[in-house]
Structure 1
Amino acid sequence: MKKILLYTVVAFSSGLFFTNIYNSIVNAANWESNVPKSITAAKDFFGVANPGTFFGVIDPANMILIVLALILFWKKSTSIRLYLGIALLCYVSVMILNFTYFFPRNEMMFLSKQFPEKETLKRVASEWGNMNWVRSFIWLTGLICSFLALDKYTSIK
């Protein structure tokens, strides 16, 4: 059961990481390409669901899984506990970044009734795209730690 939990943590974390990379390579590049037309097109396209829809389901689920894994493995091994703790710290950092940095920019680009001026919109789209690489690196760090916890568990089992 514990091993399955660690595999699930790795699977969810991998999904979040690669979806975020996709957002950087595809979505952010398109948003920055021809502001404000590109933002209007994205806003129209994301009328029913958007990347936040995916992250809003999978990110909290991943957080629950990593906390559960940390609780279940607390006494198993100090190194497993350390790796899972670092992974949790990374995922919490990403959530804080989401609420403090990305959500306000998403609001400006996709949810507000009236766009800000063109230069502001360009700046916001560019900031979003650049900072998303930082978010990807944090997720990757958490993912690596999740893999290391799984590796450590399978080597001591």
Structure 2
Amino acid sequence: MALVAVVWAAMLSFGGVAAETVMLYPNVFGDPPASLDRAREFLVAGGPSDYFPPLGAAVVVSGLAATVLTWRDPRLRWWIVGAAAVFIACDFVFSVLFFWPRNEIMFIDPVGTHTPEYLRQVAGEFVAGHWVRLAGGAVTAALTFTALLRWVRATATASVPAPAEPVGAGR
């Protein structure tokens, strides 16, 4: 069940980041600082910062649970460990170190704190770094899904009874 949970969470996370890339980013980062101001006005009731941290925690927790629960199965072990490591590196650690400070500059600091040139620079860095997060999410989703497919194939073939010997085969 942990394997299904991590696949579900990883797919949701990757899909969310991919959707954000094509739907929100052109509007948020299209013309900083004006587009950043519009984003502040639009994302009042909720935004990516409300959605991704709990979902990321679900990927990490279910990934660690799946790692522990599948550890004895060498067909799955390294797919899950790889997925967890990629997600933690690209979507968690990278976000904390790279994105969170830039989010603070663009969306938390009071308007007028930073020059338009600096906001354009930070927005450009954010968009460039976003491709690391998107790629990490894609790799995580692919690795977890591969593990799930390997598990399904292994359990499907293990539950299929061996063909019966034809009548008179032993004579």
TM-score, normalised to structure 1's length?
Answer: 0.92
- Write out per-residue CA displacement over residues 34-73 of structure 1, whole angstroms, 9 at most, x where no aligned residue: 2211101101122232201101111101111111111111
CA contact (8 A) 2:13 2:52 kept: yes
CA distance in 2, matches of 1:33, 1:139: 23
1:142 and 2:145 are equivalent in the alignment: no
- SS, match of residue 26 in structure 2: helix
Q: Which residue of 1 aligns with 2:151?
A: 153
- SS, match of residue 33 in structure 1: coil
- SS, match of residue 48 in structure 1: coil
CA distance in 2, matches of 1:145, 1:124: 32
5 Å-filtered alignment, 1:7-156, equals: 7-75=4-72, 77-93=73-89, 94-114=91-111, 115-156=113-154
Paired residue type of 2:87: Y
CA contact (8 A) 1:84 1:149 kept: yes
Please state which structure has a larger fraction of its residues in helix. Answer: 1
- Write out per-residue CA displacement over residues 71-114 of structure 1, whole angstroms, 9 at most, x where no aligned residue: 11111x21300000000101111200110000011001100113
CA distance in 2, matches of 1:156, 1:109: 49
**Contiguous gaps of at least 5 residues in structure 2:** 156-171
Deviation at residue 136 of structure 1 after TM alignment:
0.7
CA distance in 2, matches of 1:122, 1:148: 39
**Contiguous gaps of at least 5 residues in structure 1:** none
Paired residue type of 1:100: L
Deviation at residue 25 of structure 1 after TM alignment:
1.6
CA contact (8 A) 2:32 2:116 kept: yes
Aligned length: 153
- SS, match of residue 24 in structure 2: helix
Q: Which moved more, 1:24-33 or 1:101-110?
A: 24-33
TM-score, normalised to structure 2's length?
Answer: 0.84
Bigger relative contact order, structure 1 or 2, given CA contacts below 8 A and separation 6+? 1
- SS, match of residue 116 in structure 1: coil
Q: Which has the larger radius of gyration?
A: 2
Q: CA RMSD for the aligned pairs?
A: 1.3
CA distance in 2, matches of 1:130, 1:27: 15
Deviation at residue 7 of structure 1 after TM alignment:
2.2
